[in-house]
Amino acid sequence: MVMCIFLSLACLFDYSLRRIPNFLILCMAAVGVGGFVTRGEPVALLFSIATGLVILMVAFPLYRLGMFGAGDLKTVAVCSLFLGGSDFVRFIVVALTIAALFSIAKILIKHNSRERIAYLFEYASDVVRNRAFKLYMVNKDNKDATICLMGPVLISGILVVGGL
């Protein structure tokens, strides 16, 4: 429940400012660690921290390519302090599935599927031609081509905490 409150705040920041403050992420981490300390579960705490670090390492290349924001990744990684192993995996899968559905809905609403597919193929051919990755979205201000990830993450958190 506490995680969902923090995710709601992160969602508000993400949708209004397009960024998630580090202070909020640090508060979230402190509360998550505090829960383990008060329950006296040091091994579970270490496992949760390791899980969050793995998420950061796996997702870091996607951040470097501009496909995810740093605040999004840090917030999702900190959620490992609130969810157990199988719940955390379910949380990630559900969040990414909802994000994909949001993206599809946005493409359908904006009627820009041809433009988005053309950009994807242009990007892929440029990567093959130059044998090097580059930022996926050079113009981050194009809100028609992006979604805020915290909305799907919040919905996923509510569903997983609620028993999905």
So where are the chain's domains?
2-161
Q: How confident is the prediction along the chain (164 residues), in pLDDT tens digits per residue?
A: 899 999 999 999 988 988 899 999 999 999 999 988 898 888 888 998 898 899 899 999 888 887 888 899 999 999 999 987 778 889 999 999 999 998 888 888 888 778 878 878 888 888 888 888 777 766 655 565 577 889 999 999 999 988 87
How far CA 83 is from CA of 14, 42, 47, 132, in Å, comes to 22, 15, 11, 37
Q: What is the pLDDT of residue 90?
A: 92
Q: What is the pLDDT of residue 142?
A: 58
